Amino acid sequence: MEWGAVIVAAGRGTRMGAADNKVFLELGGRSLLARSLEAFERCEAVSSVVLVVSAGERKKAAEIVGEEGFRKVAMIVPGGAERQQSVYEGLGALSTDGVLVHDAARPLVTPEQIEACIRAAEEHGASALAVRVKDTIKVSDGNGFIVATPERGLLWGVQTPQAFSRGELMAAHRQASEEGAAATDDAMLLERLGKKVAIVEGDYANIKITTPEDLPIAELLLARRRERESAT
Ligand SMILES: Nc1ccn([C@@H]2O[C@H](COP(=O)(O)OP(=O)(O)OP(=O)(O)O)[C@@H](O)[C@H]2O)c(=O)n1
Ligand SMILES: C[C@](O)(CO)[C@H](O)COP(=O)(O)O
């Protein structure tokens, strides 16, 4: 199967509180967006990339793609108000049968993790990178009181990339939008239809840059990765 990727970068970064959209912030001297694109550029199993950005940030994103020489970026398309809509816009612009959906805000993803998601999706139909939850998770009653403690051994913190048949994911998106179902990731859209999504055990370093303390943590993780690479 031919694989393409939709990389979503059309958020506002409200929780980061920076003047700019967080995907343009720098990590180790390069933007988060460039680092995410680089991982897909280096993954041989991915043939093309659709980048989803806010209409007002298209020029800035195109400059990064041009300057960094990302040859796989076939199209840059405008996103929507929510991540779910941004992903759907990207899916429509891609032509491959298989699709990986990735947050530009996860700049520490590796080509090996992308490849592992593809392999699992080819075997099971769909897959998502995830890590075992380390904390004990509580369910609240919505009013500040704990009502339940799910069994930790069954809990996973889901990340991106997530890999799907593009046609199947597009159909799931259309159905969710007809039924007014909102989803914070794409696997959710298949789960609600009773379809299987395989878990690919990932790495705690593939963090999503969401709030200001995430950036120095990502700098440390990047430095640790560089040390390991130079030691091998
Ligand atoms: N309308 C949106 C919202 C989010 N995203 C993208 O989805 C990814 C994950 O979203 P999140 O971390 O929530 O980013 P933001 O929406 O930018 O952050 P915030 O919720 O703090 O505003 C990011 O790469 C973001 O750019 C998007 O493409 N379109
Ligand atoms: C898709 C995701 O990265 C999975 O962890 C995440 O849900 C997206 O972030 P958001 O903050 O929910 O938009």
Chunked mean pLDDT (size 10), the chain, 232 residues: 98 94 97 98 98 97 98 98 98 98 98 98 98 98 98 98 98 98 98 98 98 98 95 88
Q: Alpha-carbon distance 52 to 222, whole Å? A: 25
Ligand 2 mean position, distance from CA 214 (Å): 14
Ligand 1 mean position, distance from CA 155 (Å): 23
User: Does 214 sit in the ligand 1 pocket, CB within 6 Å?
Assistant: no
Ligand 1 mean position, distance from CA 209 (Å): 10
For ligand 1, pick from 12, 27, 76 the residue to mutate: most ligand atoms within 8 Å of CB.
12
Give how far Cα 186 sits from Cα of 91, 99, 218, Å. Answer: 12, 11, 24
**CATH number, domain 3-231, options 1.20.140.10, 3.40.50.1240, 3.30.200.20, 3.90.550.10:** 3.90.550.10
Which pLDDT belongs to residue 232? 84
Q: In this structure, how many other beta carbons lie within 10 angstroms of the beta carbon of residue 207?
A: 19
* Adjacency order of strands within the sheet including 156-165: 73-78, 46-53, 3-8, 98-103, 156-165, 127-132, 198-201
pTM for this one?
0.97
Q: Alpha-carbon distance 152 to 145, whole Å? A: 19
Ligand 2 mean position, distance from CA 231 (Å): 33
Q: In this structure, how many other beta carbons lie within 10 angstroms of the beta carbon of residue 6?
A: 27
